[in-house]
Amino acid sequence: MGSRNAETVKTFLRLLEERNIDDWMELWADEGAQYYPFGTEMFPRHLVGKAAIYDRWKGMPSMFDSLSFPIRETWEAGDTVLARFDSACVLAGGRRYRNTYLGIFKFDDAGLLREYWEYFDPIVAGVEFGIAAVAYAPRQT
């Protein structure tokens, strides 16, 4: 990664790892929007504006003992960066949380985040955060 936008993606994930939500919010445009396409009932599908995004994320640091989001690869076209990354986190209380992500980051002319699309495995998230239960159907032979 080398462009301004790609470096901002690295900073975005680093600030989350540091649980520094105040500085993380400075990466967002005032009219920024976040999307959870697979959020179902667990997460809001669409957040608009810095206030809504902050309200959603402000409690995140207290939910974790540690956060790690290693980037696997990135792609860039125009004002958009796609990043494939993982989570290797420890929830408050010691349980591990691991998931895989594809983030779509769209930037304005000033290099601020105007859209963030977060794709992840909602089954893993729901079960690990205790907000969903999954029962698998018996396998057919």
Count CB neighbours of 12 within 10 A: 20
End-to-end CA distance of the chain: 47
40: left (phi over 0), alpha (psi -120 to 50) or beta: left
pLDDT tens digits, the chain, 141 residues: what are they? 469 999 999 999 999 999 999 999 999 999 999 998 876 666 778 899 999 999 999 998 898 999 999 999 999 999 999 999 999 999 898 989 899 999 999 999 999 999 999 998 877 776 776 666 777 788 887
Q: Per this entry, what is the length of the chain?
A: 141
Report the distance separating Cα 28 and Cα 22, nearest Å. 11
- Of 88, 95, 84, 120, give the one whose Cα is nearest residue 9: 84
Alpha carbon distance 106, 9 (integer Å): 10
pTM to 2 decimal places: 0.88
Alpha helices in the chain (DSSP H): 4-17, 21-25, 50-57, 122-128
* Tokens 């860039």 sit on residue: 76
